[in-house]
Chains A and B, each alone.
Chain A
Protein backbone atom coordinates (compact mmCIF):
# COMPACT_ATOMS: atom_id res chain seq x y z
CA UNK A 1 0.00 0.00 0.00
CA UNK A 2 1.09 3.52 -0.73
CA UNK A 3 1.48 6.16 1.96
CA UNK A 4 2.31 9.84 1.71
CA UNK A 5 3.60 12.03 4.53
CA UNK A 6 3.62 15.80 4.58
CA UNK A 7 5.30 16.98 7.78
CA UNK A 8 4.59 20.70 7.42
CA UNK A 9 0.95 21.47 8.29
CA UNK A 10 1.41 25.19 7.63
CA UNK A 11 3.96 27.39 5.93
CA UNK A 12 4.20 31.02 4.94
CA UNK A 13 6.35 32.92 2.48
CA UNK A 14 6.80 36.53 1.50
CA UNK A 15 5.56 37.50 -1.92
CA UNK A 16 8.27 37.07 -4.59
CA UNK A 17 10.30 34.75 -2.35
CA UNK A 18 10.92 31.01 -2.74
CA UNK A 19 9.41 28.27 -0.61
CA UNK A 20 9.86 24.50 -0.51
CA UNK A 21 7.18 22.06 0.59
CA UNK A 22 8.26 18.62 1.77
CA UNK A 23 6.80 15.23 0.96
CA UNK A 24 7.94 11.68 1.64
CA UNK A 25 6.24 8.54 0.47
CA UNK A 26 6.35 4.80 0.65
CA UNK A 27 5.40 2.30 -2.04
CA UNK A 28 6.24 -1.20 -3.13
CA UNK A 29 5.47 -0.42 -6.77
CA UNK A 30 8.21 -0.22 -9.36
CA UNK A 31 6.48 2.31 -11.54
CA UNK A 32 4.37 5.14 -10.24
CA UNK A 33 3.63 8.81 -10.62
CA UNK A 34 4.00 11.50 -8.00
CA UNK A 35 1.88 14.63 -7.99
CA UNK A 36 1.47 17.97 -6.31
CA UNK A 37 -2.08 19.31 -6.25
CA UNK A 38 -3.23 22.75 -5.15
CA UNK A 39 -6.60 23.25 -3.46
CA UNK A 40 -7.63 26.90 -3.11
CA UNK A 41 -10.68 27.95 -1.08
CA UNK A 42 -12.81 27.20 -4.13
CA UNK A 43 -12.18 23.52 -3.19
CA UNK A 44 -11.23 22.40 -6.69
CA UNK A 45 -8.07 20.31 -6.80
CA UNK A 46 -5.71 21.63 -9.46
CA UNK A 47 -2.72 19.69 -10.72
CA UNK A 48 0.47 21.68 -10.20
CA UNK A 49 3.11 19.23 -11.38
CA UNK A 50 3.72 15.51 -11.81
CA UNK A 51 6.74 13.25 -11.99
CA UNK A 52 7.10 9.74 -13.37
CA UNK A 53 9.25 7.62 -11.11
CA UNK A 54 11.28 6.25 -14.03
CA UNK A 55 12.38 9.69 -15.14
CA UNK A 56 15.44 10.95 -13.32
CA UNK A 57 15.10 14.51 -14.52
CA UNK A 58 13.14 16.67 -12.12
CA UNK A 59 9.88 18.04 -13.52
CA UNK A 60 9.37 21.79 -13.87
CA UNK A 61 6.31 23.88 -14.70
CA UNK A 62 7.06 27.58 -14.91
CA UNK A 63 7.61 28.73 -11.30
CA UNK A 64 7.08 25.24 -9.89
CA UNK A 65 9.74 22.55 -9.74
CA UNK A 66 10.32 19.35 -7.82
CA UNK A 67 13.27 17.70 -6.18
CA UNK A 68 12.68 13.98 -6.69
CA UNK A 69 14.96 11.70 -4.68
CA UNK A 70 13.81 8.18 -5.52
CA UNK A 71 16.13 6.30 -3.19
CA UNK A 72 15.11 8.51 -0.28
CA UNK A 73 11.45 8.42 -1.39
CA UNK A 74 11.31 12.18 -1.20
CA UNK A 75 9.38 14.53 -3.49
CA UNK A 76 9.56 18.20 -2.52
CA UNK A 77 7.93 21.12 -4.33
CA UNK A 78 9.72 24.41 -4.84
CA UNK A 79 7.70 27.51 -5.65
CA UNK A 80 9.75 30.40 -6.96
CA UNK A 81 8.67 34.04 -7.10
CA UNK A 82 5.67 33.30 -4.88
CA UNK A 83 2.46 35.09 -5.77
CA UNK A 84 -0.62 35.88 -3.71
CA UNK A 85 -2.59 33.46 -5.87
CA UNK A 86 -0.37 30.63 -4.65
CA UNK A 87 -2.09 30.78 -1.26
CA UNK A 88 -3.82 27.40 -0.92
CA UNK A 89 -3.59 23.90 0.50
CA UNK A 90 -0.98 21.79 -1.28
CA UNK A 91 -1.30 18.03 -1.40
CA UNK A 92 1.33 15.54 -2.39
CA UNK A 93 -0.02 12.35 -3.96
CA UNK A 94 1.15 9.06 -5.44
CA UNK A 95 -0.62 6.94 -8.00
CA UNK A 96 -1.68 3.35 -7.67
CA UNK A 97 -0.46 1.18 -10.51
CA UNK A 98 -4.02 0.37 -11.49
CA UNK A 99 -4.80 3.85 -12.69
CA UNK A 100 -4.11 7.55 -12.71
CA UNK A 101 -7.21 8.25 -10.70
CA UNK A 102 -6.30 5.94 -7.84
CA UNK A 103 -4.39 8.58 -5.98
CA UNK A 104 -3.16 8.42 -2.41
CA UNK A 105 -2.85 11.84 -0.81
CA UNK A 106 -0.94 13.27 2.10
CA UNK A 107 -2.57 15.45 4.75
CA UNK A 108 -1.58 18.66 3.03
CA UNK A 109 0.39 21.82 3.73
CA UNK A 110 -1.41 25.13 4.07
CA UNK A 111 0.67 27.77 2.30
CA UNK A 112 0.10 31.46 2.89
CA UNK A 113 1.79 34.05 0.71
CA UNK A 114 2.25 37.29 2.62
CA UNK A 115 2.10 40.58 0.69
Chain B
Protein backbone atom coordinates (compact mmCIF):
# COMPACT_ATOMS: atom_id res chain seq x y z
CA UNK B 1 0.00 0.00 0.00
CA UNK B 2 1.21 3.48 -0.84
CA UNK B 3 2.03 5.72 2.06
CA UNK B 4 1.38 9.44 2.24
CA UNK B 5 2.61 11.00 -0.98
CA UNK B 6 3.53 14.63 -1.45
CA UNK B 7 4.33 16.59 -4.57
CA UNK B 8 6.53 18.12 -5.65
CA UNK B 9 9.53 16.92 -3.63
CA UNK B 10 11.48 20.12 -4.21
CA UNK B 11 10.43 23.58 -5.30
CA UNK B 12 12.14 26.94 -5.80
CA UNK B 13 10.04 30.10 -5.86
CA UNK B 14 10.70 33.82 -5.90
CA UNK B 15 9.57 36.21 -3.18
CA UNK B 16 6.03 37.41 -3.76
CA UNK B 17 5.00 34.38 -5.77
CA UNK B 18 2.30 31.86 -4.92
CA UNK B 19 2.85 28.14 -4.32
CA UNK B 20 0.58 25.08 -4.12
CA UNK B 21 1.71 21.91 -2.40
CA UNK B 22 -0.18 18.65 -2.73
CA UNK B 23 -0.75 15.66 -0.50
CA UNK B 24 -2.42 12.30 -1.05
CA UNK B 25 -3.26 10.47 2.18
CA UNK B 26 -3.08 6.76 2.75
CA UNK B 27 -6.08 5.02 1.22
CA UNK B 28 -8.97 5.12 3.68
CA UNK B 29 -7.56 7.97 5.74
CA UNK B 30 -9.90 10.91 6.06
CA UNK B 31 -7.77 13.35 8.01
CA UNK B 32 -4.89 15.38 6.63
CA UNK B 33 -2.66 17.80 8.50
CA UNK B 34 0.07 20.13 7.34
CA UNK B 35 3.27 21.09 9.16
CA UNK B 36 6.09 23.50 8.46
CA UNK B 37 9.59 22.44 9.48
CA UNK B 38 12.19 25.18 9.31
CA UNK B 39 15.78 23.96 9.17
CA UNK B 40 17.01 22.98 12.61
CA UNK B 41 13.56 23.08 14.21
CA UNK B 42 10.74 20.69 14.92
CA UNK B 43 7.63 20.70 12.73
CA UNK B 44 5.01 23.37 13.44
CA UNK B 45 1.32 22.64 12.96
CA UNK B 46 -0.39 24.66 10.22
CA UNK B 47 -3.78 23.05 9.46
CA UNK B 48 -5.84 19.93 10.03
CA UNK B 49 -8.70 18.85 7.77
CA UNK B 50 -11.14 16.04 8.38
CA UNK B 51 -13.96 15.09 6.04
CA UNK B 52 -13.21 18.22 4.00
CA UNK B 53 -13.70 20.55 6.97
CA UNK B 54 -11.02 22.52 8.78
CA UNK B 55 -10.60 21.08 12.27
CA UNK B 56 -7.59 23.01 13.46
CA UNK B 57 -5.39 25.93 12.56
CA UNK B 58 -1.97 26.84 13.90
CA UNK B 59 -0.47 30.26 14.38
CA UNK B 60 0.20 31.11 10.74
CA UNK B 61 -0.78 34.23 8.75
CA UNK B 62 -3.71 34.34 6.35
CA UNK B 63 -1.27 33.93 3.46
CA UNK B 64 -1.49 30.23 4.29
CA UNK B 65 -4.62 28.39 3.26
CA UNK B 66 -5.59 24.81 2.58
CA UNK B 67 -8.42 22.65 1.42
CA UNK B 68 -9.37 19.00 1.27
CA UNK B 69 -11.02 17.40 -1.71
CA UNK B 70 -13.78 14.73 -1.87
CA UNK B 71 -11.09 12.05 -2.39
CA UNK B 72 -9.43 13.32 0.85
CA UNK B 73 -6.34 14.64 -0.90
CA UNK B 74 -5.29 18.10 0.15
CA UNK B 75 -3.61 21.25 -1.07
CA UNK B 76 -1.65 23.81 0.92
CA UNK B 77 -1.47 27.25 -0.65
CA UNK B 78 0.89 30.02 0.33
CA UNK B 79 0.52 33.50 -1.16
CA UNK B 80 3.00 36.37 -1.30
CA UNK B 81 5.95 34.16 -0.43
CA UNK B 82 8.58 35.46 1.97
CA UNK B 83 12.14 34.26 2.42
CA UNK B 84 11.08 32.97 5.83
CA UNK B 85 8.63 30.56 4.20
CA UNK B 86 11.58 28.45 3.08
CA UNK B 87 11.09 25.14 4.87
CA UNK B 88 10.18 21.49 4.60
CA UNK B 89 6.39 21.16 4.43
CA UNK B 90 5.12 17.89 5.82
CA UNK B 91 1.74 16.30 5.34
CA UNK B 92 0.34 13.70 7.73
CA UNK B 93 -2.73 11.53 7.37
CA UNK B 94 -4.77 9.45 9.80
CA UNK B 95 -7.97 7.43 9.82
CA UNK B 96 -9.76 9.73 12.20
CA UNK B 97 -9.15 13.09 13.74
CA UNK B 98 -8.91 12.27 17.43
CA UNK B 99 -5.96 11.37 19.62
CA UNK B 100 -6.52 7.64 19.31
CA UNK B 101 -5.48 7.44 15.68
CA UNK B 102 -1.88 7.35 14.53
CA UNK B 103 -0.59 10.00 12.14
CA UNK B 104 1.54 8.88 9.20
CA UNK B 105 3.83 11.41 7.55
CA UNK B 106 4.92 11.90 3.99
CA UNK B 107 8.47 12.72 2.97
CA UNK B 108 7.69 16.39 2.57
CA UNK B 109 8.14 19.13 0.03
CA UNK B 110 11.29 21.21 0.34
CA UNK B 111 10.36 24.80 -0.54
CA UNK B 112 13.10 27.34 -1.16
CA UNK B 113 12.15 30.99 -1.57
CA UNK B 114 14.79 33.19 -3.21
**Mask: chain A, 99-114; 1 = CB below 8 Å from B; 0 = not:** 1111111111000000
Residue from the list B32, B44, B56 in contact with A98, Cβ < 8 A: B56
Known: A43-B88, A44-B106, A44-B107. A99 touches B56 (CB 8 A): yes
Residue from the list B41, B42, B45, B110 in contact with A102, Cβ < 8 A: B45
Known: A44-B108, A95-B99. A101 touches B43 (CB 8 A): no
Q: Is the CB of A91 within 8 A of B43?
A: yes
**Mask: chain B, 43-75; 1 = CB below 8 Å from A; 0 = not:** 111001010000110000000000000000000
Q: How many residues of A contact B (CB 8 A)?
A: 29
Q: Is the CB of B48 within 8 A of A101?
A: yes
**Mask: chain A, 20-60; 1 = CB below 8 Å from B; 0 = not:** 00000000000111000100001111110010100000000
B21 within 8 A of A: no
Min CB–CB distance B86 → chain A (angstroms): 15
- How distant is the Cα of A93 from the Cα of B30 in the complex, in angstroms? 22
Q: Is the CB of A45 within 8 A of B99?
A: no
- How distant is the Cα of A96 from the Cα of B9 in the complex, in angstroms? 28
B90 within 8 A of A: yes
- How distant is the Cα of A98 from the Cα of B46 in the complex, in angstroms? 14
Q: Which residues of the partner chain B approach A46 to less than 8 Å between Cβ atoms?
A: 105
What would 6 more interface pairs be, CB under 8 Å, given A31-B99, A100-B102? A44-B106, A45-B92, A99-B33, A99-B56, A99-B99, A101-B92
Residues of B whose CB lies within 8 Å of any CB of A are 31-33, 35, 40-45, 48, 50, 55-56, 88, 90, 92, 94, 96-108, 110
**22 examples of A-B residue contacts, CB within 8 angstroms:** A4-B42, A42-B107, A44-B105, A44-B107, A47-B103, A52-B99, A91-B43, A96-B45, A98-B55, A98-B97, A100-B94, A101-B45, A101-B92, A101-B97, A102-B45, A103-B103, A104-B45, A106-B42, A107-B40, A107-B41, A108-B41, A108-B42
Residues of A whose CB lies within 8 Å of any CB of B are 4, 31-33, 37, 42-47, 50, 52, 91, 93, 95-108
Task: State the 10 A-B residue pairs at the shortest beta-carbon distance, nearest first.
Answer: A105-B42, A101-B33, A45-B105, A99-B97, A44-B107, A102-B56, A100-B101, A101-B103, A100-B99, A101-B48
